[in-house]
Amino acid sequence: MSSATSHRAVPAPQKLRESVKQKSALPWLTLPALFFFVVFAVLPLIGVLALSFANWDGIGAIGVAGMENWTSVLSDPELYNSLGLTFMIMIVSWLVQTPISLLLGVFTAGTQRYRAALAVLYFLPLLLSSAAVAIAYKALLDPNFGLAMGLGLPFLAQDWLGVPQLALGLIIFVIAWQFVPFHTLIYQGGVRQIPKSLYEAAQIDGAGTIKQFFHITLPQLKYTIITSSTLMVVGSLTYFDLIFVLTGGGPGNSTRILALDMYLRGFRANLMGPASVIAVILVVIGLALALFLQRLGGKDQQGSQLEGM
Amino acid sequence: MSTVLKSDSKPGTPASATSSIKAKQSLGTRIRRLNIPGGLGGWIWLAVIIIPVYYIVITSLKTSEGYFGQNPMALPTSPTLENYQLVLESNFSTYFMNSVIVTLGSVIPTVLIAFMAAFAIVRGHGRYLKFVNGVFLMGLAIPLQATIIPIYLMIIRLNLYDSLLAIMLPSIAFAIPLTVLILSNFIRDVPNELFESMRLDGCSEWQTMWRLALPLTKPAIVTVAIYNGLHVWNGFLLPLVLTQSPGLRVLPLGLWTFQGEFSVNIPAVLASVVLSTLPILVIYVLGRRQLVSGLTAGFSK
């Protein structure tokens, strides 16, 4: 450890010796966390790649499959349906959630008391599990005993879970309902960190609210937008619980996103090999998106931005 | 600046007269002007959030006659707790206890070992600690779902299938990266002089960690504990894949099966939704300030 420690710029030699002696125990402190993380996160990550080349029904022995799983999955139109749906939900969700969260974040960052109170209430959906949210929405959408009748809005009385387009729209809405509060919170924090002096200067220059928003607030929130978008986009790969309970992938395969496709292939059809192929694709997409979004933040900012997450 | 901003339509705000009130006023003007779209949006979103919550709560208090006979948004004419009684009598307490065990059994070890790692990463130097930090940062991008099949395989091989421990182990692993990140951000904010004075007093790093860093990062620890607790409490996939016995169901899984069994009794299903959220609501009310300030500090930098 001493050679590594000496990289640190320490002014006095005596201090160096002391710090070497004192801090040599520090690396040990990371071992328990590293152990858990490597065994139950990194190892499975390697394992999923290995399993994508294997034959396994989830119970019996594991055999070698070679490229078989990959060729069969890559030539399966179901994969492209799932990929398309996953990206569609990701993009539409981003387009819906980002402006709403940003505006609500700016709004709740204000100093008035009632805005803070609103922010407390916005947080409520985050307390519910996705399973609970999905179950509640099934009841809410009952055409006879749900919101449509209660609010006197007949257009809400649709067969939400029976028509593909409606089911997709519903999923995007429920996802927004559940996650906008979290991103609002992120933007609220971001807005509060913008130096007040920028707004004062803009006012002296005669810039109005809308100008201030587009020329100060938005640019200043650049990294907040990237953080929030990263969480949103990478998170959208994993809207498994909600869709599983709400639609189960249906009607037909119209809401069968990648994560659900993986689960159904693996744990319903007992084809762990092909399911692992889907899982590898999920990981690759997730990493690629995360890297891409970090790049948007600029190279020199990458490190500090990751730290800021 | 004004020339750059010229193209926009809205007329500018005149600079305030005296500089002493300028700061206050500038903030005030900013907020007052944003009130129109922001305020409208804010109240609309409140309705979007509150109407479903209101429906869930009032419906859970209705008798089945009330549910089928009344207007769905009307308050129950004869509120009843019989739905809650029904839910409590159908294994809910088992699911509840399982969720408590899994949540505490995941959150306490996570926070403890992540705190130690974060302390070492902030206080120590050298290639190894940099590498460990890099590993955890990379871990932020690993989706739990994608690793579920190998986790399932490992849990079977470890003879842990169909146990609560099976849910806890991966939960801990996947909570570590973000927990380390948030905690190390907070430990970094502890003034270096405090560490120096501990050192001069002859304290070891171990003592410094528990006596200085731990008390000073308490708000962050509460934040990550609640945040992780929320995730584990609401987790669905790990219990779904790694357990099987009805006696080992955690709440989200219990809700799901309950919904399957009682699909005709919507008030009872919604009572189970309310009951499963109640403990989290209590914790949120108690720890909200710390959770929110901690999360905004952790994510918005």
Prediction ipTM score:
0.82
The stretch A121-129 carries a mean pLDDT of: 88
- The reply to whether residue B120 touches residue A208, judged by beta carbons under 8 angstroms, is no
- The reply to whether residue B147 touches residue A45, judged by beta carbons under 8 angstroms, is yes
| Residue numbers in B near A37 (CB within 8 A) | 135-136, 139, 173, 176-177
Judge residue A40's burial from the number of C-beta atoms within 10 Å of its C-beta, 0-12 exposed, 13-18 middle, 19 or more buried.
buried
Tokens representing residue A281 in the block: 């694709």
The interface residues of chain B toward chain A in range 219-278, judged by CB-CB distance below 8 A, are: 230, 233-237, 241, 251-253, 255-256, 259, 266, 269-270, 273, 276-277
The span from the CA of B217 to the CA of B298, in Å, is 13
Given CB atoms, is B146 within the 8 Å cutoff of chain A? Answer: yes
Phi and psi angles of residue A63, each rounded to the nearest 5 degrees, phi first: -115, 170
**Which pLDDT belongs to residue B78?**
78
What percent of chain A is modeled with pLDDT above 70?
88
Residues B2, A174 contacting (CB under 8 angstroms): no
pLDDT reading at B30 higher than 60: no
- The reply to whether residue A187 touches residue B52, judged by beta carbons under 8 angstroms, is no
Which has more confidence, B199 or A39?
A39
Cis check for the bond before A251: say yes or no (omega within 30 of 0): yes
Q: How far is CA B26 from the centre of its chain?
A: 35
- The reply to whether residue A43 touches residue B150, judged by beta carbons under 8 angstroms, is yes
Going by the DSSP 8-state scheme, the letter that residue A110 receives in this structure is S
Residues A231, B141 contacting (CB under 8 angstroms): no
Given CB atoms, is A61 within the 8 Å cutoff of chain B? Answer: no
Given CB atoms, is B154 within the 8 Å cutoff of chain A? Answer: yes
pLDDT bin (cut points 50, 70, 90) of residue A116 is confident
Residues B147, A44 contacting (CB under 8 angstroms): yes
The stretch B40-65 carries a mean pLDDT of: 88
pTM of the model: 0.82
What is the overall mean pLDDT for chain B? 82
pLDDT bin (cut points 50, 70, 90) of residue B96 is very high
Given CB atoms, is A88 within the 8 Å cutoff of chain B? Answer: no
Least confident segment among A90-99, A255-264, B121-130, B246-255: B121-130
Q: Which helix (H) or strand (E) holds A64?
A: strand A63-64
Residues B270, B56 contacting (CB under 8 angstroms): yes
Nearest to B144 by CA among B56, B217, B228: B228
Q: Which helix (H) or strand (E) holds A55?
A: strand A54-55
pLDDT bin (cut points 50, 70, 90) of residue A139 is confident
Phi and psi angles of residue A64, each rounded to the nearest 5 degrees, phi first: -90, 135
- The reply to whether residue A4 touches residue B125, judged by beta carbons under 8 angstroms, is yes
Given CB atoms, is B134 within the 8 Å cutoff of chain A? Answer: no
Which residues are CB-neighbours of A181 under 8 A, at least 6 positions away? Answer: A122, A123, A124, A125, A126, B49
| Residue numbers in B near A234 (CB within 8 A) | 141, 143
HSE of A111 in the Cβ direction (CA atoms, 13 Å)?
A: 10
Nearest to A230 by CA among A97, A103, A108, A44: A97
- The reply to whether residue B170 touches residue A189, judged by beta carbons under 8 angstroms, is no
Q: Mind listing the pLDDT tens digit for each residue in A55-108?
A: 898 888 888 888 889 999 999 998 999 999 999 999 999 999 999 999 888 888
The span from the CA of A66 to the CA of A63, in Å, is 9
Report the residue from B10, B141, B234 with minimal CB separation from A209: B10
pLDDT reading at B5 higher than 50: no
User: How many angstroms separate the Cα of B69 from the Cα of each of A143, A146, A153, A154?
Assistant: 14, 12, 18, 18
DSSP string of B178-242? HHHHHHHHHHHTS-HHHHHHHHHTT--HHHHIIIIIHHHTHHHHHHHHHHHHHHHHH--HHHHHH
Judge residue B120's burial from the number of C-beta atoms within 10 Å of its C-beta, 0-12 exposed, 13-18 middle, 19 or more buried.
buried
Nearest to A191 by CA among A219, A229, A156, A232: A219
Which has more confidence, A31 or A25?
A31
**Collapsing DSSP states into helix, strand and coil, what is residue A82?**
helix
Phi and psi angles of residue A55, each rounded to the nearest 5 degrees, phi first: -105, 125
Given CB atoms, is A226 within the 8 Å cutoff of chain B? Answer: no
**Which pLDDT belongs to residue B296?**
67
pLDDT bin (cut points 50, 70, 90) of residue A298 is low
Given CB atoms, is A71 within the 8 Å cutoff of chain B? Answer: no
| Residue numbers in A near B41 (CB within 8 A) | 100, 103-104, 107
**Which pLDDT belongs to residue B82?**
86
Q: Which helix (H) or strand (E) holds A63?
A: strand A63-64
Given CB atoms, is A25 within the 8 Å cutoff of chain B? Answer: yes
**Which pLDDT belongs to residue A91?**
94
| Residue numbers in B near A151 (CB within 8 A) | 51, 73
Which has more confidence, B117 or B212?
B117
Given CB atoms, is A206 within the 8 Å cutoff of chain B? Answer: yes
Least confident segment among A106-120, A249-263, A266-280: A106-120
Least confident segment among A41-50, A208-217, B13-22: B13-22
Given CB atoms, is B69 within the 8 Å cutoff of chain A? Answer: no
Given CB atoms, is A212 within the 8 Å cutoff of chain B? Answer: yes
The stretch A265-290 carries a mean pLDDT of: 91
Which has more confidence, A44 or B195?
A44
**Which pLDDT belongs to residue A303?**
41
- The reply to whether residue B10 touches residue A124, judged by beta carbons under 8 angstroms, is no
Beta strands in chain B (DSSP E): none
pLDDT reading at B89 higher than 80: yes
| Residue numbers in A near B269 (CB within 8 A) | 135, 139
**Interface residue of B152, B293, B300 to substitute, partner A, most A CBs within 10 Å:** B300
Q: What residue of A is the nearest CA neighbor of B287?
A: A120
pLDDT reading at A306 higher than 70: no
**Which pLDDT belongs to residue B35?**
58
Q: B150: how many CB neighbours lie within 10 A of its CB?
A: 22
Maximal C-alpha separation, chain A? 80
Report the residue from A1, A126, A208 with minimal CB separation from B8: A208
| Residue numbers in A near B292 (CB within 8 A) | 119, 123, 185
Which has more confidence, A154 or B197?
B197
Given CB atoms, is A208 within the 8 Å cutoff of chain B? Answer: yes
- The reply to whether residue B67 touches residue A145, judged by beta carbons under 8 angstroms, is yes
Which has more confidence, A232 or B29?
A232
- The reply to whether residue B266 touches residue A215, judged by beta carbons under 8 angstroms, is no
Facing residues of A54 across strands? A64
What percent of chain B is modeled with pLDDT above 70?
85
**Which pLDDT belongs to residue B174?**
92
**Which pLDDT belongs to residue A99?**
92
Tokens 């070891």 belong to which residue?
B204
Top-ranked range on mean pLDDT: pick from A258-267, A289-298, B66-75, B209-218: A258-267
pLDDT reading at B28 higher than 90: no
Top-ranked range on mean pLDDT: pick from A33-42, A250-259, A292-301, B67-76: A33-42
Report the residue from A27, A46, A48 with minimal CB separation from B129: A27
pLDDT reading at B11 higher than 90: no
CB pairs under 8 A between A and B: 396
What is the overall mean pLDDT for chain A? 82
pLDDT bin (cut points 50, 70, 90) of residue B2 is very low
Report the residue from A4, A56, A103 with minimal CB separation from B37: A103
